[in-house]
A and B are shown apart, each in its own frame.
Chain A
Amino acid sequence: TQLLEQSPQFLSIQEGENLTVYCNSSSVFSSLQWYRQEPGEGPVLLVTVVTGGEVKKLKRLTFQFGDARKDSSLHITAAQPGDTGLYLCAGEETSGSRLTFGEGTQLTVNP
């Protein structure tokens, strides 16, 4: 089983601050996905990165896939209270459609 280490596990910041969440592995993934989960709901896909070195932007969120396709980061600029939630990274195994999830980062943005 491939492992994904996500850090930090908890993050509490003030509105307007920037933050970065990291997702690291010793294994290569065919793609790396980021999900966001609200309380009482299932995770919802934010973005998928496929190519090593790829950078994708979604409004104030920037996602990067490592050159070796083993790690990824999520950067949020000028965080807002609406960004509060659980952020999960997931690596798609090269051998099939299964995803390996990181432990998640619980983000709280205080007004």
Chain B
Amino acid sequence: DAEITQSPRHKITETGRQVTLACHQTWNHNNMFWYRQDLGHGLRLIHYSYGVQDTNKGEVSDGYSVSRSNTEDLPLTLESAASSQTSVYFCASSEYSEQGDTQYFGPGTRLTVL
């Protein structure tokens, strides 16, 4: 069965370190997204990609970067981790249908920056 996975599921790091969160999907979807989820803010879009070599900034992109070298993967990098980036991160992929753009979410990565 097709799926979307994230790794690691939990990560503790220190302020200033570079961290990369992995996202891998086997749906063969062109669209991929990274969100962060914090209490009182719901899900906020960090970066997204509509295909290989395409990346775009979302509403909270400062301090984050992504790259899309193949269809299956969209890794998220925190260049220099800050305590404000402690959050739960979700990756999603989607495809368009007549019923709209359905997004399929990974299980999330809980990141703690000390």
Q: What residues make up the interface of A, taking CB atoms closer than 8 Å to B? A: 1, 6, 9, 30-31, 33, 40-45, 48, 50, 88, 90, 92, 96-104
Contact = CB atoms under 8 A, between A and B. Distances in A.
B42 A42 contact: no
A85 B58 CA distance: 27
24 contacts: A33-B100, A33-B102, A33-B103, A41-B107, A41-B108, A42-B108, A44-B105, A45-B102, A45-B103, A48-B99, A88-B42, A90-B43, A90-B103, A92-B101, A97-B31, A97-B94, A98-B33, A99-B45, A99-B101, A101-B35, A101-B43, A103-B40, A103-B41, A104-B42
Contact of B103 (A30, A96, A99, A100): A99
A92 B100 contact: yes
Given A50-B100, A99-B101, 16 more contacts: A6-B42, A9-B40, A31-B99, A31-B100, A41-B107, A43-B90, A43-B105, A48-B100, A50-B98, A88-B42, A92-B101, A97-B101, A98-B58, A101-B42, A101-B43, A102-B42
Contacts of A40: 107-108
B interface, how many residues as a size bin? Answer: 20 to 34
Nearest to A6: B42
Closest 5 CB pairs of A and B: A42-B105, A31-B100, A101-B43, A97-B101, A103-B42
A103 B40 CA distance: 6
A39 B43 CA distance: 14
A29 B87 CA distance: 28
A98 B45 CA distance: 9
| Highest count of chain A CB atoms <10 Å: which of B59, B98, B102, B107 | B102
Contacts of A44: 105
A45 B104 CA distance: 8
Contacts of B40: 9, 103
A48 B42 CA distance: 19
Contacts of A99: 33, 45, 101, 103
Given A101-B43, A103-B41, A103-B42, A48 B92 contact: no
